[in-house]
Structure 1
């Protein structure tokens, strides 16, 4: 496990920290990420209407996987996260899907070591890879791409670092849409990757069909499709 990823995993394994984050995570009308999750499902469905296997990497409380499994009732899901607290929440949130979901503890930088199966039709991740540096991020994309079936999708809904002038604008405007998180409920010890870090990572992993399907303030929905085999 890379050093930066190891540090982040240790923080999220703290039950008090992870619990406080979950309690402060916006829901309902304040959840700005409900729309991009639905967009991801809709775009995938345009060309892959019946995915068989969906893997949610660093799946947290299970919000993204829940949307995807509802959109694709014939699919089974694999949930992966390093946090025991997130596992507890995800088991509760995803219980209605029964044996369609398999839960695996593990880090996003060691997908094969965690037992993530290959030939996935869709590998998704949400709000996790911004804890990686550029090299680790590219390593994640490389490993994830290698676990995709031909024509499979790699989807990442994550925060990015904008230029400073936009950082100031976004920080002020965002307060009108979402309540501020309490101090100490999020962990960023280094600058976040930027948009180009993500796009370069997709392309270096061999996924050249990549675009930003949605963007608001600091968060982008990156979507890419592997070439058919």
Structure 2
């Protein structure tokens, strides 16, 4: 595992930190990411009414996976995370789906080593890949795209670094009106700058997911969506 991933995995594997982060995560109407999660489900449904297998990489408590499983009642899910604490919470929060969900422990840069199956109709990730450098991010996209069946969806809802310092200043000035800052106990270190929009778009293309777009963006968070060529 590359050093940057190892450092991030160690942070999230700390039970006290993971519990503090989960406790501060917005719920219900306060969770502004419910909209892009719903958009992702609607886009998948537009072309793929029966995705079959949905893989949630670094899925945390399973919020994103839950939206997709609600949208596709016949689908089954695999949730992968490096944190036992996160997986325990996901097992509780996703218990209503019963045997439709399989839980795996593992790092997002080693999907096959963690036993994540191939043939997925959608591979999701959320608020995790910003810990990766550009090359590591592209490696993740290549491996994730390799798990998809023809016409499958690669979806990533994550934080980015603005290219423009002017916009960075503007966003920092106004975003707290809409997204209150997290408690200091949930702050975590990044070994390098966050990936940019260009890093993500280039990663999709390098993975062979040429049909890609940014379906939603607010401040520092983007919903990247892409579909592999149909058979």
Pick the TM interval, shorter chain: over 0.9
Q: Flag structure 1 segments of 5+ consecutive residues without an equivalent.
A: none
1:1-229 to 2 correspondence within 5 Å? Answer: 1-162=1-162, 163-189=164-190, 190-229=192-231
What is the deviation of 1:188?
A: 3.3
Q: Flag structure 2 segments of 5+ consecutive residues without an equivalent.
A: none
What is the deviation of 1:146?
A: 0.8
What is the deviation of 1:3?
A: 1.1
Please tell me the root mean square deviation across aligned C-alpha atoms, in Å: 0.8
Distance in structure 1 (CA, Å) of the matches to 2:170 and 2:29: 22
TM-score (norm 2): 0.97
Distance in structure 1 (CA, Å) of the matches to 2:189 and 2:160: 12
Instruction: State whether residues 151 and 225 of structure 1, in contact with CA within 8 Å, keep that contact through their aligned partners in structure 2.
Output: yes
Mean CA deviation greater in 217-226 or 168-177: 168-177
What is the deviation of 1:34?
A: 0.3
TM-superposition CA deviations, 1:34-53 (whole Å, max 9, x none): 00000000011000011100
- SS of equivalent to 1:89: helix
Distance in structure 1 (CA, Å) of the matches to 2:142 and 2:79: 19
TM-superposition CA deviations, 1:54-92 (whole Å, max 9, x none): 000000011000000000000000000000110111001
Distance in structure 2 (CA, Å) of the matches to 1:127 and 1:8: 12
Distance in structure 2 (CA, Å) of the matches to 1:226 and 1:186: 35
What is the deviation of 1:24?
A: 0.9
Mean CA deviation greater in 175-184 or 62-71: 175-184
Runs of 4+ in 1 over 6 A off after TM superposition: none
What is the deviation of 1:102?
A: 0.2
Distance in structure 2 (CA, Å) of the matches to 1:218 and 1:209: 23
What is the deviation of 1:165?
A: 1.5
- SS of equivalent to 1:172: helix
Distance in structure 2 (CA, Å) of the matches to 1:172 and 1:83: 33
Instruction: State whether residues 151 and 227 of structure 1, in contact with CA within 8 Å, keep that contact through their aligned partners in structure 2.
Output: yes
Alignment length, in residue pairs?
229
What is the deviation of 1:118?
A: 0.4
